[in-house]
Structure 1
Amino acid sequence: MKTILLVPTGEGVGLTSASLGLVYALECQGVKAGFLKPFSQEKNQPTDRTTALYRHLSNNETVEPITYESLIQQISLGESDELLEEAVRLHRQIAKQHDVIIVEGLVPTSRDAFASDFNAILAKALDAQVIVVSNADVNQPAVTADKVDTQLRHLGGAANDRIAGVLFMRTKGLPEDSEQIPVTLDPSLRLISDTNEFVASIQKTHAHIGSENLPVIGLVPFSSTLSVPRISDLAAHISAEWINQGEASQRRVLHSSLIASNIEHELNKFVAGELIISASDRIDVLLASSLASCNGIPLAGLVLTEHHEPNATVLAFCQSAIKNGLPILHTPLSTFETAQSLSNLSNEIPVDDTERAEQVTRFVSSHINVDWLVQILNGSYKPRLSPSAFRHELVQKSIAAKKRIVLPEGDEPRTIQAAAICQSRGIAHCVLLAKPEVVIEVAKARNIELPHDLEIIDPDLIRENYVPKMVELRKGKINELQAREQLQDTVVLGTMMLALDQVDGLVSGAVHTTANTVRPAFQLIKTAPDYSLVSSVFFMLLPDEVYVYGDCAINPDPDAEQLAEIAIQSADSAKAFGIDPRIAMISYSTGTSGTGADVEKVAEATRIAKERRPDLLIDGPLQYDAASVESVGQSKAPGSPVAGRANVFIFPDLNTGNTTYKAVQRAANVVSVGPMLQGLNKPVNDLSRGALVDDIVFTIALTAIQAEQQAAQ
């Protein structure tokens, strides 16, 4: 068991973000990390903020900290030993289920001056290694180092064996572009040269900081884009009432603008993510905000100040904007007072803002030195493919693959944003099939920065090139006129590009049905030589492990031969993504406990799959609980190499598979990545029409890795 205590140098260093970021970084290394905050410093709060965020983000349980009131009372009574005993008890509760525990220390404040000394004795009580967490300014290395040194003195000095390293958070003075990065994903963003330069500057006056014995384990830039509140977080802060709440819990305030002069001189301020602040008698501002919203510009919201809120007649003119979700607030404060109050808004992440917490967590994680993590753990854990590790590996493998992926739905907003992320991060070279002017217009309205090398191809300019080739590929089935007509569909056009090796993979489905995406692939790409059918898998990202479910999207009622092939395809897909497959052939019966045609089909499929691939661990028929729960597996199928330990689940038909995956996804609130199609000559993948930007990004990554795997065969 390894325990790491994070000790801050003071307030505002981003201690919560550092703690959660380190937990996530460990998850990405396959380490099951627990979290403990022994002592709360929040007055009269039933739930601790960091603890609640950890629960939301990790889907893991932890213990509630000792309340601030109890902490102060016991310290004033000289009962520090009793406090430490209670902290150890909480630590032991979590230690039962985790390889590593990240502990958040106390923050030294003017109110809690005892915190630094108490952290030192807490480190001893928990037998923890210590990371000092400090904010930093690369232009003031000596000032930054002095903060660290002050904290080190409380901990017994830099020579103390417990001191494991220094983590610099909210670092100012780094190049502007270092914060303008997508935070959806988590491959390493480490600023290695900036870190080395900063450490060299520090060592001119403080040689021990950044040395081998006291390494700098991360330099995390300050990011204004990650400090943005939702408009719903502002209302109470400025004593405002809602005129229209709309999408207040989703829209974020990237910038704010006071509108004081003539509206024609202020129209440049009406852009995505902007909070417009104006006196409530400025009806022109209300109407301009409404028009911007109707034109597809997602303003953060509108705050009307002073006087009284607009009358019903004026609001009636704004119904389209209100239906589009434009948040509108009214506050009795003056325009200046409102702006002043908003400038003092805390950077702390609210308990319910899990989207921002997740982005910050991944951002911090990606700046932590992975080599240091591996070294400090020193083999004291058993790696596992956690959901975080799966996502991390997915992105890393796709970056290494360097594949070209076509996106036929090139003017769809989520697809454009996903393509921009993938292109800028090197996840894939994306090709959008759409009119460039439409893509630019959508990107501008939604504040999406298009990378300069993002490829946008106007379908009208290339369609005719594919007519002869399509007629040749579908010889005897279509003529030129029919080919030209079918190529009006950008999915067909993209599939032709794939068939002719002009791209490496295709992703579609954000606005098309599965049939629309898959049918052209069946006709033009066809199945791989070793397979007779196309099937699909979902990667189910459960809290502790990644499961593979097949087939949940394509084949309604496969026979035994087809079911065996689906099992083999799914096992190979699992291997391609770092999962060592243990395959359970699912049925309503385990072994010979039940009879009937459905059970016999699964038994026969199991026999065929074992015969074709003796290298795989396959067993069936198995009921779902016998396959997934160890105690049930031992009882119902003793001696089975799969029962109770399965991670690849093959369902007997589409009805069972689709129902199960959706039930697990919704009831357990887990992420499912897919469906990923398997068995085709070239990778084509389908999206759900409700896909989020993240879903599209991960599907693009999956497709790139599939292309690399097929190229290597």
Structure 2
Amino acid sequence: MARSVYVTGIGRGDGRQVVELGVMELLTRHVDRVGVFRPLVHTAAAGGPGTDHVVELLRGRYRIDLPSADLYGLTYEEATALQAERGVDELVSVLVERFRTLERKCQAMLVLGTDFADTSIPDELAFNARLANEFGAWVLPVVGGLRESADAVVAEVRNAYRAYTDLGCNTLAMVANRVTPADKQQIARRLTTRPPVPCYILPEEPALAAPTVAQVVQATGAEVLLGDATGLARDVRGFVFGGATLPTFLAALTEGAMVVTPGDRADLLVGTLAAHAASSPPIAGVLLTLGIRPGPDVMALAGRLAPGTPVVVAPEGSWVTAASLSGLEGRLTAASPRKAETALGLFELHVDTAELISRIELSRSERVTPMMFEHVLLERARADRRHVVLPEGTEERVLRAAEVLLRRNICDLTLLGDQDTIRRRAADLGVDLGLDTGAEERRAGGAVARIVDPATSPLRENFAEVYAKLREHRGVTAELAYDVVADVSYFGTLMVQEGLADAMVSGAVHSTAATIRPAFEIIKTAPGAAIVSSVFFMCLADRVLVYGDCAVNPAPDARQLADIAIQSAGTAAQFGVEPRVAMLSYSTGTSGSGADVDKVREATALVREQRPDLLVEGPIQYDAAVDPGVAATKLPGSQVAGRATVLVFPDLNTGNNTYKAVQRSAGAVAVGPVLQGLRKPVNDLSRGALVQDIVNTVAITAVQAQGRSER
């Protein structure tokens, strides 16, 4: 029977989607097959895939490969008719049967309770309690604290615990969500002993309550005149209604606001977009009313001023439009991935996930999928947050990755580059880096970012002195060093060297040489490391392998190959992969000869001599290293053959081609290259890196920095 968690509440407005998303994330870190089940769903949401916004968000984000219909029980209308005709026992029986059908296919289950909205279920709380009991699920009640006093929240949590416990439920924990941030500590203190289960307090997060521009368009029936999908996904943090003259109106603008003004006020439209282009301040978009479309010349100018920024026109006047916007709140949907990242960051910051998973009694699966590896990676980086410098602060992919890293509280960041350019670029992309006033309060305890311009930073002069001293044997003068350290790669590397950052990641637009040359000159190799090398984490369908060296050393000799093997084993162990090292060759054991095989044989002997504690085999062919059947024939009795986790290639040509072949042909996720052998972590990105690649590489680099700190 799968372990199940039933997330429920006591009324509307509790924002429990944050908790549902957080629990799903937690379950998928530990087991591969997690199912989601909503027993009752509204009619409009029952027509097939993509209809219930929370179920479909979880289904898409966590790649739940199950038919959509299996994830739902009945519609509320079907449930009401069945209950009226055959009684509540029959209704529960049908829902239990559908739940069990899905449960048999999964290792863990997340159940989404009824939403207390326009339902005809009498005593909805008792109904949820009975379903949870029949499903054999832990109950996780969520109490809403929006605009409630601390006294009211404490009372509601205790009452909800008592209600579910009296109905026979096994309560996993209690969650008070959307509480006033100033009351959080007081509420947590008062709930320390009563109820006698963990109580987690999540403060209200304005970014989650903010609707997107796309929601505004839908609510007002507006037509999009300008703007791309990224612009429509921006959060709307407020509304500014325009009717005053331009100078007066500009003073009223606030960051992230949506401007609402009649369509014939071209002056306000152009002035607002010009202010946005200058980041003073960046806005979410412009909503024109009265159905009036500005002329083509005005729209052409608007498009040039702020490319991607939405300009939409609503058919009604300002009063009717304002009424449509009243009470509009954000929702977690598959179309709002940024909100999902914010929600997960909030949950992980305020919930003791280790405590929660131990209470669920869910053991981690031996099978490691790419998603599980990624989850564990982010979890480890977050557990001991480090500071990473990103030299390519104006690059779109880096900015988008930075937003994810900050929302998930993975690490603190320094972005290098001109401050105005970075702010303007972030505004154009709709990226929130938390740089505005009030961000520190909103992200109390969470990851933060800052911008440093090497050209104007007061650190430049000191860095020039440090670099000149390091390179004086190469004839580098103070004047030359002053010019060199203005380069973002050198400046970022010096931040790491001088302890102003823990690590650096670059390479999205810079070459590998531009990224690692400063590290060779300034940080240098770690004690005991002969060379700097690299590995890729190859996430296959059911396991994670470590490939080295596929990116740095073209033709290592036997001693260098041994060093690569030892370093790769250490990197594997650091990231939870038990090192069993295969020294690859075109020959296995003693069956072959020649210079290339002899080099691998010598390297294997050196590894055994230097690290007798490591399991290592070589020379060995790839199939004998990873396939138990082949291993039983070619190297029977080997502790590595057929079970290798660290595969060391004899040269760069072999390694680079093999990792790319496995990546493309087997659909593996390749994370890296991860550099090893430096005193402090610096990692290089592929210039074709996607946003998620950058997120993963930064997380790996942060974990490497944790290891350096421990040593």
TM-score, normalized by the shorter chain, greater than 0.5: yes
**Alpha carbons 2:133, 2:169 under 8 Å: kept:** no
In structure 2, the residue matched to 1:186 is none
User: Which of 119, 124, 131 is 1:111 aligned to?
Assistant: 119
- Structure 1 residues 144 and 340: alpha-carbon distance in aligned structure 2, compared to 1, 3 A threshold: farther
In structure 2, the residue matched to 1:278 is 261
Please list the CA deviations of residues 189-208 of structure 1 after superposition, one character each: whole Å capped at 9, or x if unmatched: xx5x33334538xxxxxxxx
Of 571-580 and 541-550, deviating more is: 541-550
- Structure 1 residues 70 and 672: alpha-carbon distance in aligned structure 2, compared to 1, 3 A threshold: farther
Give the distance between the partners of 1:266 and 1:594, measured in 2 at CA. 81
**Is 1:569 the equivalent of 2:553?**
no
**Alpha carbons 2:158, 2:194 under 8 Å: kept:** no
Give the distance between the partners of 1:269 and 1:478, measured in 2 at CA. 56
TM-superposed deviation, 1:427: 7.2
Q: How does 1:188-587 map to 2 (within 5 A)?
A: 193-199=185-191, 210-212=194-196, 215-246=197-228, 247-295=230-278, 298-321=282-305, 324-370=307-353, 372-378=355-361, 386-398=373-385, 408=391, 448-450=433-435, 456=452, 459=455, 461-465=458-462, 470-480=467-477, 482-496=480-494, 505-539=503-537, 547-584=545-582
In structure 2, the residue matched to 1:123 is 132
Q: How does 1:148-163 map to 2 (within 5 A)?
A: 149=159, 153=163, 155=164, 157=166, 160=168, 162-163=170-171
- Structure 1 residues 229 and 93: alpha-carbon distance in aligned structure 2, compared to 1, 3 A threshold: same
TM-score normalised by L of structure 2: 0.79
**Alpha carbons 2:224, 2:311 under 8 Å: kept:** yes
Please list the CA deviations of residues 220-272 of structure 1 after superposition, one character each: whole Å capped at 9, or x if unmatched: 22212122333223323211222123233442222222112112111134454
Q: Aligned with 2:239: secondary structure? A: strand
TM-superposed deviation, 1:549: 4.0
TM-superposed deviation, 1:698: 6.3
- Structure 1 residues 169 and 615: alpha-carbon distance in aligned structure 2, compared to 1, 3 A threshold: same
In structure 2, the residue matched to 1:57 is 61
- Structure 1 residues 347 and 487: alpha-carbon distance in aligned structure 2, compared to 1, 3 A threshold: closer
- Structure 1 residues 335 and 649: alpha-carbon distance in aligned structure 2, compared to 1, 3 A threshold: farther
Percentage identity across aligned positions? 34
Aligned amino acid, residue 46 of structure 1: G
Q: Aligned with 1:303: secondary structure? A: strand
Of 46-55 and 594-603, deviating more is: 594-603
Give the distance between the partners of 1:670 and 1:337, measured in 2 at CA. 53
Give the distance between the partners of 2:251 and 2:538, measured in 1 at CA. 45
Aligned amino acid, residue 15 of structure 2: G
**Alpha carbons 1:2, 1:380 under 8 Å: kept:** no
Give the distance between the partners of 1:686 and 1:101, measured in 2 at CA. 39
TM-superposed deviation, 1:8: 2.0
User: Which of 173, 182, 194 is 1:165 aligned to?
Assistant: 173
Q: Aligned with 1:12: secondary structure? A: coil
**Alpha carbons 1:294, 1:320 under 8 Å: kept:** no
Aligned amino acid, residue 312 of structure 2: L
Number of aligned residues: 678
Give the distance between the partners of 1:175 and 1:456, measured in 2 at CA. 31
**Alpha carbons 2:214, 2:232 under 8 Å: kept:** yes
TM-superposed deviation, 1:456: 4.6
Aligned amino acid, residue 349 of structure 1: L
**Alpha carbons 2:37, 2:109 under 8 Å: kept:** no
Aligned amino acid, residue 617 of structure 1: L
- Structure 1 residues 418 and 150: alpha-carbon distance in aligned structure 2, compared to 1, 3 A threshold: closer
**Alpha carbons 2:41, 2:72 under 8 Å: kept:** no
Q: Which runs of 5+ in 2 are unaligned?
A: 441-447
**Alpha carbons 2:56, 2:333 under 8 Å: kept:** no
Q: Aligned with 2:128: secondary structure? A: helix
Give the distance between the partners of 2:408 and 2:73, measured in 1 at CA. 42
**Alpha carbons 1:431, 1:457 under 8 Å: kept:** no
Q: Aligned with 1:37: secondary structure? A: strand
Give the distance between the partners of 2:411 and 2:157, measured in 1 at CA. 42
TM-superposed deviation, 1:9: 1.3
**Alpha carbons 2:157, 2:174 under 8 Å: kept:** no
Q: Which runs of 5+ in 1 are unaligned?
A: 177-190, 201-208
TM-score normalised by L of structure 1: 0.79
Give the distance between the partners of 1:492 and 1:12, measured in 2 at CA. 50
Please list the CA deviations of residues 400-438 of structure 1 after superposition, one character each: whole Å capped at 9, or x if unmatched: xxxx76555567788789889989999777666667787
In structure 1, the residue matched to 2:444 is none
In structure 2, the residue matched to 1:179 is none
TM-superposed deviation, 1:135: 1.1
Q: Aligned with 1:234: secondary structure? A: helix
**Alpha carbons 1:541, 1:670 under 8 Å: kept:** yes
TM-superposed deviation, 1:139: 0.7
Give the distance between the partners of 1:271 and 1:629, measured in 2 at CA. 61
User: Which of 11, 35, 47 is 1:45 aligned to?
Assistant: 47
Give the distance between the partners of 2:695 and 2:653, measured in 1 at CA. 28
Give the distance between the partners of 2:223 and 2:600, measured in 1 at CA. 61
